[in-house]
Amino acid sequence: MDLLSLLPLDLLYIIYGFNAIFRFPRMLKVQTFWDFFNRMDAVAKSPYIIRILRTLIYMMYLIHLNACAYYAMSVWEGIGSNKWVFQGDGNAYVRCMYFATKTATSIGKNPKPENEYEYIFMTFSWLTGVFIFAFLIGQIRDIVATATQNTTQYHQVMDKMVQYMRNLNLPDDLQRRVRLWLNHTWEQQKTLHEDKILDSLPKKMKTDVAINVHYSTLVKVQLFKDCDKALLRDLVLKLKPMLILPGDYICKKGEIGKEMYIVNKGLVQVMGGEKGDVVLATLSEGSVFGEISLLGIPGCDRRTADVRSKGFSNLFVLGKADLWDALEHYPEAQTILKKKAQSLIKTNENQEKSARSSRTNIAETIIKEPSRTPTPRLLKTVLKVVQPDSLCAQMLSKKSSAPVLTCDQIPGSLTASTHLRASSISHIEAKGVNKLSVYKKDQFLPPVMPLNQQNSTVSLENFFTITSDDINPNAIKELVKVVPFTGSGFQTPLSNQLDNQSKTKEVCSNVNITEKSVTSVEELPSIRHSSSLNSIVSEQYDLEELNFSPSRLSTYSLLGYDNLGFAPLDINLSRSASVTSDETVC
Ligand SMILES: Nc1ncnc2c1ncn2[C@@H]1O[C@@H]2COP(=O)(O)O[C@H]2[C@H]1O
């Protein structure tokens, strides 16, 4: 055909003069024109542009033919013979082409036909113009529609989905995630039905295409490397692509396993630990997971761990039935998967064991070394202040609460210094007074009273009155820091003792007790004031509000809490001194 179309018939012009008919064999090249566009269509990145170009060429060619026919009519009727025909001015082709274009596009304003032939020509031109244009425009619309078909489909699905979710009043977050999924799938695949694209191909070709498309991932899958290459061909068409959003769980521990996965793109995290917040492993491209619960290992038909996507990830999903179809024919793959599963199960068990033992260790440590808040300053002070061998010191350091003293055990020195409470009905005789008193259970004994017992037990409760017997004079400074007092001229044995010791005097002269010094004892939540030695608690004051002018016989008690193993401890630090208001402050 090409040879025929190239015959040099133009040479005949020399003999016969110019005649367009000699150029007719060039029409034989029309097949080449179609071939050219078909090939371009197949290889071009945007085939719809090629198709539009071809349609435009058809259109131009038809207008060209019409222009030629008009010129031929003009020559036949005589150029310039009437107003309708070509007038012979300017370039004949351009003028005729202009006429034909105006007719074909129905723009009008052409000279009116003047005879029947011209009317027929114009009617025919307009009709062909209308049909051909309708056809061409239709074709262009199809081409553009095909080119944007996926986009349109995506918008339709998105619109329908949004409407559906709104109708159901789904939570905003879920709606946002669905939109995100559609958006991301579209961005990545430019279609929402990737799996259907290959459906029209024969199976073998589909396999080749699928292997090629996913080659870079599939070659990284250890299972396919270690097993017969045919396993890959058997499985590849059964892999379904799936896109997961960041943070979404792919499977949850304890669920029944129905699918296994291959990571195509992105990262997934296998989560373990008691609360499922420990990352056991991070799996990347080519990793296989979710196989343990599919392999029929006894006791392992449920997911052994949570698996979640770290960012966006693309996975291939393989159903249980499809996996088993393949594994039946590839026992070595079955063995590999089972071995891997068993080693993962062991790893997880070990991890759980070590987590459990570290928890026990922590618990043991807690039991062995209870974390203790520091000893309150009050208690420390008391321990410094009291004589180390005094019962008070012994009790505080022994960490025993409420020891029960029988009368035999009550040392005389304590009788006047310790608040004693009857632990049962007690018959107590005051020494010297020679009077037998009966105390009910829990009743306090008078504090200043030499005791003589009769079949009685009294318990030393968790509060103490520190008196001259217990006080270590060298530590008096410490005591006055925490026990507020002003005044001098103690009338009790304590005051005598203090008065007689220069050191104590010195301390006293340095004492500048103000409210401030009391508030420095931050640990003490409150201070108690008892106006008589008999009543243990009469009123309770805030530290700030305390008025320290002891105008009467007073005992100040500091309420503190210990953490040495006692119950909340009432430490009654009292200066058993009667202080009179007319005495000068030292
Ligand atoms: N320690 C681990 N390291 C890596 N992957 C694991 C680990 N534990 C479990 N998996 C995977 O997480 C999956 C959870 O579901 P399966 O139990 O079906 O299969 C599990 C394994 O594929």
CB-CB contact of 438 with 425 (8 Å): yes
Report which residue type is found at 532: S
Nearest CA to ligand 1 atom 13: 290
What is the 357 CA–ligand 1 centroid distance (Å)?
A: 22
* Rounded-to-integer distance, Cα 503 and Cα 506, Å: 5
CA of residue 224 to ligand 1 center, whole Å: 19
Distant-in-sequence, close-in-space partners of 364: CB < 8 Å, separation ≥ 6: none
Measuring from atom 9 of ligand 1, which residue has the nearest CA? 305
CA 537–ligand 1 middle distance (angstroms)? 66
Say which amino acid occupies 381: T
Instruction: List residues bridging with 162 in a β-sheet.
Output: none
* Residue carrying structure tokens 């073998």: 204
Q: How many CB atoms lie within 10 A of CB 455?
A: 11
Give me 108's structure tokens: 């009008």
Ligand 1 pocket residues where CB is under 6 Å: 251, 257, 270, 280-281, 289-293, 303-305, 307, 344, 347-348
Q: Give dist(CA 263, CA 93) in Å, integer.
A: 66
Q: Which atom of ligand 1 is nearest to the CA of 300?
A: 17
d(CA 535, ligand 1 centre) in Å = 71
Nearest CA to ligand 1 atom 20: 290
Ligand 1 centroid to Cα of residue 348, in Å, is: 9
Query: Does an H or E element contain 15, and which?
Result: helix 12-16
Amino acid 580 reads T
Q: What pLDDT, on the 0 to 100 scale, is given for residue 121?
A: 92
Amino acid identity of residue 201, one-letter, is L
CA 270 – ligand 1 centroid, Å: 6
Per-state percent for the chain, helix, strand, coil, to nearest 5: 50, 15, 35
Tell me the best of 280, 282, 323, 354 to mutate to test the pocket of ligand 1, counting ligand atoms within 8 Å of each CB and taking the most: 280
| Cβ within 8 Å of residue 351, ≥6 positions away | 272, 280
Dihedral angle of Cα 442, 444, 449, 455, to the nearest 10 degrees:
-10
Q: From ligand 1's centre to the CA of 274, what distance in Å? A: 16
What spacing in Å lies between the alpha carbon of 344 and ligand 1's midpoint?
7
CA distance 123 to 74: 16
What is d(CA 463, CA 536) in angstroms, rounded to the nearest whole number?
A: 9
* CA 347 to ligand 1: nearest atom: 1
- The residue type of 228 is D
pLDDT at 452: 42
Can you say whether the dihedral through the CA atoms of 6, 10, 16, 17 is positive or negative? positive
* Best probe residue, ligand 1, of 268, 270, 340, 347 (max atoms within 8 Å of C-beta): 270
Under DSSP, is residue 421 helix (H, G, I), strand (E, B) or coil? strand
How many A from CA of 290 to the centre of ligand 1?
Answer: 6
**Any residues with CB less than 8 A from the CB of 197 and at least 6 apart, and which?**
191
Any idea what DSSP says for residue 186?
H
Atom number in ligand 1 closest to CA 305: 14
* Position in ligand 1 atom list of the atom nearest CA 260: 18
For residue 245, the one-letter residue type is L
78 C-alpha vs ligand 1 centroid, how far in Å?
A: 92
Q: Are the CB atoms for 490 and 579 separated by under 8 Å?
A: yes
DSSP state of 190: S
Residues 513, 485 contacting (CB under 8 angstroms): yes
Q: Which residues of the chain have pLDDT under 70?
A: 108, 194-195, 359-586
Q: Is the dihedral of CA 33, 36, 37, 38 positive or negative?
A: positive
Query: Which of 292, 342, 352 for mutating ligand 1's site (highest number of atoms within 8 Å of CB)?
Result: 292
CA dihedral sign of residues 149, 155, 161, 167: negative
CA 318 to chain centre: 28
Candidate from 289, 291, 306 with most ligand 1 atoms within 8 A of CB, to mutate: 289
Give strand ranges (E) for 248-312.
249-251, 259-265, 268-272, 278-283, 288-289, 306-309
Q: Which atom of ligand 1 is nearest to the CA of 293?
A: 18
- In sequence order, what are the residues at sequence separation of 6 or more whose Cβ sits closer than 8 angstroms to the Cβ of residue 513? 480, 484, 485, 486, 548
- Say if CB 336 and CB 223 are below 8 A apart: yes
Compute and round to an integer the Cα radius of gyration of the chain: 54
Residue closest via CA to ligand 1's atom 3 equals 281
Q: Is the distance from CB of 459 to CB of 406 less than 8 angstroms?
A: no
- How many Å lie between the centroid of ligand 1 and the Cα of residue 178? 27
What does the pLDDT look like over 149-172, one tens digit per residue?
778 888 888 999 999 999 988 888
Question: Are 106 and 127 spatial neighbours (Cβ–Cβ below 8 Å)?
Answer: no
Q: What is the atom index within ligand 1 of the atom nearest the CA of 280?
A: 1
CA of 234 to the centre of ligand 1 (A): 24
Residue nearest to atom 4 of ligand 1 (CA): 281
Torsion over CA: 513, 514, 519, 520 (sign): negative
Token digits of residue 251:
């499977």
CA of 71 to the centre of ligand 1 (A): 82
Dist CA 100 CA 65 (whole Å): 9
Q: Rounded to 5 degrees, what are φ and ψ at 27?
A: -60, -25
Q: At what angle do helices 116-147 and 47-77 cross, to 10 degrees?
A: 180
Which helix H or strand E contains 453, and what residues bound it? strand 451-454
With residue 459 as reference, give the H or E element that holds it.
strand 457-460
3-class DSSP state of 540: strand
**Closest-CA residue to 571 (of 440, 395, 450):** 395
Q: Ligand 1 centre from 227 Cα, in Å?
A: 21
Please name the residue that has the structure tokens 């008690």: 557
| Cβ-Cβ contacts under 8 Å for 93 (sequence gap 6 or more) | 67, 71
* Site to substitute for ligand 1 among 306, 317, 323, 344, most atoms within 8 A of C-beta: 344
> Measured between alpha carbons, how far is 70 from 129 in angstroms, rounded to an integer?
14
CA of 291 to the centre of ligand 1 (A): 7
Residue 314 vs residues 190, 195, 283: alpha-carbon distances, Å: 14, 14, 12
Angle at the Cα of 364 (from 361 to 365), degrees rounded to 5? 85
Give 400-439 as a DSSP string. Answer: --S-EEEGGG--HHHHTTS-EEESSSEEEEETTTTEEEEE
Atom of ligand 1 nearest to the CA of 288: 22
Instruction: Tell me what pLDDT residue 4 has.
Output: 83
The answer to whether 292 touches 257, Cβ cutoff 8 Å, is yes
